[in-house]
């Protein structure tokens, strides 16, 4: 098995690295990439130079498939046409996925490709959790809560296996961030909604807003759909609150130096997570396990500590030493709730689904 990373896409400097199954670097170069599909094309060339083995299938993470693409499946012309029709559901993500599918088809023209949808895991959410309080015709045409990060949540359920209790809240915290209430291994609620913009505050995304804010921006600020999308998805969240910082590592460093904007950004982020966990304990009828995942969830001890510090009334008690060392289990012996770190394995989950779908062809 090989592992790869393309970093800094769209920036002035970037990096492409391929590693073997033991984590040893096979090839690493500083490369500037204008787009994700450009990085994929170079990675395919490197793979051909490093190994004679060729992939038997290509799996893609597709964030949103709209109301009609809700299951992991073979990519066909009809699937591509449907994806093009629902770009408006995830304008930041779907165009990139389409470009990557095209690039993979050029690199491996005879290989079947599969779309693995982040929304698939959340199709088990009941209507009471998925419906917005809007007129019924809008619900019927697909305006409802879809939820995202499903592949990450699936991978965590898979990794925990028989250790997964009945009532679990998973916090996938990264550049994009969401939480899911998982009952008996199935999603019953999640913080993101119709699009990946909703839910808790994220690096550059606003999260949930009073709808009146959007009306204000349209009427008073005279924003159109494009400018509104830019503000909500690229200029808000932690970036907007802190006046420019979106990376949690930068925010924590600035906060430690007394930067009040960074401090309030982190506090808003952690408070929002804590509120959702408490709400999901109510949805689940109690809580047995709290899981942290994603780049921030797996690596930021201060964020985990802040989130857990206000949840003592639920029986959450975090071990400070274990938290500082990013141990797999963070709860104290006396904690009523298990607190775990489980790494997100979206790529492996895509591989699992692709293998299963290939065998079923």
| Distance between CA atoms of residues 57 and 112, nearest Å | 5
Give yes or no for residue 10 having a pLDDT over 90. Answer: no
pLDDT tens digits, residue range 155-201? Answer: 999 999 999 999 999 999 999 999 999 999 999 999 999 999 999 99
The whole-number pLDDT of residue 159 equals: 98
Asked if 269 contacts 204 with a C-beta cutoff of 8 angstroms, the reply is no
Residues 116, 217: one domain? no
Residues 115, 253: one domain? no
| Distance between CA atoms of residues 151 and 71, nearest Å | 12
Nearest CA-CA partner of 171 in 69, 316, 60: 316
Residues 82, 159: one domain? no
| Distance between CA atoms of residues 54 and 111, nearest Å | 9
Residues 238, 204: one domain? yes
Residues 6+ apart with CB under 8 A from 332: 317, 318, 319
Residues 79, 160: one domain? no
Sheet hosting strand 3-7, strand order edge to edge: 3-7, 15-19, 25-30
| Distance between CA atoms of residues 38 and 15, nearest Å | 12
The whole-number pLDDT of residue 260 equals: 98
Asked if 123 contacts 100 with a C-beta cutoff of 8 angstroms, the reply is no
Annotated catalytic residues are 118
Residues 191, 241: one domain? yes
| Distance between CA atoms of residues 191 and 196, nearest Å | 9
pLDDT tens digits, residue range 29-60? Answer: 998 888 888 889 998 999 889 888 889 999 99
Residues 226, 268: one domain? yes
The whole-number pLDDT of residue 227 equals: 97
- The residue assigned the tokens 């693409």 is 69
Residues 165, 267: one domain? yes
| Distance between CA atoms of residues 246 and 255, nearest Å | 13
Residues 312, 198: one domain? yes
Residues 162, 127: one domain? no
The whole-number pLDDT of residue 317 equals: 98
What is the number of other CB atoms lying within 10 angstroms of the CB of residue 224?
9
Give the pLDDT mean for 265-271. Answer: 98
Model confidence at 21, in pLDDT bands (50, 70, 90)? confident
Domain with 24, as residue range(s), is 3-142+347-359
The whole-number pLDDT of residue 11 equals: 81
What is the number of other CB atoms lying within 10 angstroms of the CB of residue 314?
18
Sheet hosting strand 113-117, strand order edge to edge: 58-62, 113-117, 73-74
Give the pLDDT mean for 200-212. Answer: 98
User: Which residues are 183's β-sheet partners?
Assistant: 167, 186
Mean pLDDT across the chain? 95
User: Which residues are 73's β-sheet partners?
Assistant: 115
Nearest CA-CA partner of 349 in 146, 121, 99, 180: 121
Which CATH number does the domain housing residue 48 bear? 3.30.420.40
Number of domains in the chain: 2
Residues 219, 301: one domain? yes
Residues 101, 156: one domain? no
């Amino acid at each position: 098995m090989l592992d790869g990373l393309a970093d800094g896409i769209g920036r002035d400097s970037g990096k492409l690295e391929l590693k073997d199954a033991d984590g040893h670097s096979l090839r690493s170069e500083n490369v500037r990439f204008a787009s994700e599909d450009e990085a994929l094309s170079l990675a395919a060339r490197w793979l051909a130079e490093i190994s004679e083995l060729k992939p038997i299938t290509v799996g893609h993470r597709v964030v949103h498939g709209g109301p009609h693409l809700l299951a992991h499946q073979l990519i066909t012309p009809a699937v591509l046409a449907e994806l093009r029709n629902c770009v408006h559901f995830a304008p930041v993500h779907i165009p990139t996925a389409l470009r990557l599918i095209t690039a993979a088809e050029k690199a491996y023209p005879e290989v079947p490709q599969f779309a693995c949808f982040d929304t698939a895991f959340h199709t088990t959410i009941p209507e009471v959790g998925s419906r917005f309080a809007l007129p019924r015709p809008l619900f019927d045409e697909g305006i409802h809560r879809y939820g995202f990060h499903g592949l990450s949540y699936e991978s965590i359920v898979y990794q925990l296996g028989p250790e997964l209790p009945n009532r679990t809240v998973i916090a996938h915290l990264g550049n994009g961030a969401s939480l899911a209430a998982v009952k008996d291994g199935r999603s019953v609620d999640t913080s993101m909604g119709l699009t990946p913009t909703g839910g808790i505050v994220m690096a550059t995304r606003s999260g949930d807003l009073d709808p009146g804010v959007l009306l204000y921006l349209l009427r008073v600020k005279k924003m159109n759909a494009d400018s509104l999308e830019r503000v909500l998805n690229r200029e808000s969240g932690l970036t907007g609150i802190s006046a420019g910082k979106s990376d949690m590592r930068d925010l924590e460093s600035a906060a430690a130096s007394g930067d009040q904007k960074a401090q309030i950004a982190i506090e808003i982020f952690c408070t929002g997570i804590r509120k959702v966990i408490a709400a999901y304990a109510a949805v689940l009828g109690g809580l047995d396990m709290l899981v942290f995942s994603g780049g921030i969830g797996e690596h930021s001890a201060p964020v985990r500590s802040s989130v857990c510090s206000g949840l003592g009334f639920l029986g959450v008690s975090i071990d400070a030493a274990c938290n500082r060392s990013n141990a797999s289990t963070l709860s104290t012996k006396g904690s009523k709730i298990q607190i775990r770190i489980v790494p997100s394995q979206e790529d492996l989950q895509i591989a699992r689904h692709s293998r299963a779908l290939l065998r079923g062809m």
